[in-house]
Amino acid sequence: MHAEQINMKTGTKFIHAGTEPDPSTGAIMTPIYQTSTYVQSAPGQHKGFEYARSQNPTRKALEEALAVIENGKYGLAFSSGVAATDAVIKLLSPGDEVIAGNDMYGGTYRLFTKVFEKFGIKFHYVDMQNVANIEQAITANTKLIWTETPTNPLINITDIAAVAVVAKKHNALLCVDNTFASPYLQNPLDLGADIVMHSSTKYLGGHSDVIQGALVLNDANLREQLYFIQKSCGAVPGPMDCFLVLRGIKTLHVRMQRHCENGEKIAHFLRSHPAVGEVFWCGFDDHPGYEIAKRQMRGFGGMMSFTLKDTRMEAATSVLSSTHLFALAESLGGVESLINHPASMTHASIPREERIKNGLSDSLIRLSVGIEDADDLIEDLDKAIGSI
C-alpha cells in the first residue's frame, strides 16, 4: 500500500495517505484510539500494541501518512515541532558539532543554545544561502547539518541538493525543517536530505487547533534510533491530535494552492505600496534564492515578511495592531491569516544583536497569508498600513 501510495498523484496521495477503512467496522475515518494500554491474551501475546507511549493505531496511521506525503519510508509523530527537533539532536553525543542556519525559528535556536549546548553539543550558525559557508564550518566532529528553507522569518532559500552533497561528503546527517514549504511544495528527501522535520502545528494541521511535530526518513537504522528516542523520552502526541493532523493532511493540497495564489497577490500588493520598504517573498524573480526555489519547490507559498519605509517601531506597532482579518498571533499555516512581530514574538529568544546581524530588524512584520478572499486581505492590510 505504502509504495503504491507514494506513486499516486499529489491530490490523491494527500487524501489516501496512510488511511485504510478501519478493519473492525469499516469506518472510513481512522478512529481515535483513546486508550493508554492494550489487553494481552497471555504475557507477550498482543496485536502489535502494548502501551500507548510506544504504539497507538491512530498515531500509526498518521505516521504512515507522513511517510507517504514526504516520499519517505518512515514517519514519526511527536507532541510538538520542537519535540521532533529535540529527538534529532538526541541522536548526538557530547563533543559532536552541528551546523545550523543563522536565520531560523527562534524556538529551534533556543533549544540548541539554551538546552543542548550545556550537554556539550556545539552549534555553528552560518548563512546557508551560500553553501560554501557550510563547507567552511565543517570539522571532523560535524555530525549534523540543520537547515530550514524557506527560513522563518526572512524567507531565505537554501539549496537542499547542494547541501546534501556536502553532508554526504563529510558523513554528516542533513535534516531539513520543511515547515514553511509543507510537503505539497517541497520534498527534501527527494533532494538528498536524511531527515525531514515538520511543525505539524502549521500547514499539516492547517486549522490552528493542534500542536504537533513530525520526522520523516528513509533509513531503517536511523528510524530505529529515533523511534527508541520517541518512546524513551515520551514526547508523543495524543490520538485526538493525530486524528486532527490526519484530517488536515487530506486538504493540504487544496489549501496550499490557495495559500500560494493569495501569497502571490499580497506580496505584489505590498511591493507596490508606497509606504512599504522591503518585501521578503521567494516568488519574486529578483529574490536571491528565486532560481533555487523554482527548482526545488512547486510554488512559493503564503509566508512573507516586510518592512515599512518608516522604520520607527511605532509605525510597525500601528500596522500590527490595526488589521482586522490578519490576527496578531504567533504561529502560521492555518486557514486564517496571521500577522506577527518576530522581534517580540516568535524570535524574541534570539539575542537582539544576533537578530540584527542576520537581517531581522526590530520593525520587521511577518505574514502568514491564509485562504480567505485575497481582495479582503489586501483591503485589510491597506487600511492598516494607512494607519501609520
Residues numbered 56 to 85 that lie near ligand PLP (CB under 6 A) are 80-82
CB of 151 to ligand PLP, least distance (A): 8
Beta bridge partners of 308: 276
Alpha helices in the chain (DSSP H): 2-6, 10-16, 57-69, 81-89, 106-110, 131-137, 160-169, 182-185, 220-233, 239-250, 252-272, 290-296, 313-322, 352-357, 374-386
Active site residue 255: no
Q: CA 207 to CA 204: how far, in whole Å?
A: 9
Least spacing, CB of residue 305 vs ligand PLP, in Å: 13
Q: Is 280 in the site for ligand PLP (CB under 6 A)?
A: no
- Cβ closer to ligand PLP: 213 or 289? 213
Amino acid at site 195 = I
The verdict on 211 binding ligand PLP (CB under 6 A) reads yes
How many whole angstroms separate alpha carbon 177 and alpha carbon 364?
A: 22
Cα–Cα distance for residue pair 316/365, rounded to 1 Å? 7
302 binds ligand PLP (CB under 6 A): no
According to CB under 6 A, which residues from 163 to 192 bind ligand PLP? 177, 179-180
Task: Tell me the closest approach of the beta carbon of residue 331 to ligand PLP, in angstroms.
Answer: 6
Interaction between residue 105 and ligand PLP (CB under 6 A):
yes
38 catalytic residue (yes or no): no
- The residue with its CB nearest to ligand PLP is 81
What is the distance of C-alpha 220 from the center of its chain? 23
> Judged by CB under 6 A, does residue 230 bind ligand PLP?
no
Known active-site residue 202? yes
In sequence order, what are the residues at sequence separation of 6 or more whose Cβ sits closer than 8 angstroms to the Cβ of residue 366? 152, 153, 303, 304, 305, 332, 339, 340, 341, 342, 346
How do beta strands 195-199 and 173-177 pair? parallel
Choosing from 33, 105, 125, 184, which is the catalytic residue? 105
Residue number, 273 or 347, with CB nearest to ligand PLP: 347
112 binds ligand PLP, rule: CB under 6 A: no
- Tell the smallest beta-carbon distance from residue 179 to ligand PLP (Å): 4
Beta-strand relationship, 327-328 and 173-177: unpaired
Among this protein's residues, is 59 annotated catalytic? no
Which residues participate in catalysis according to the annotation? 53, 105, 177, 202
Q: Which residues bind ligand PLP (CB under 6 A)?
A: 80-82, 105, 107-108, 148, 152, 177, 179-180, 199, 201, 211, 213, 346
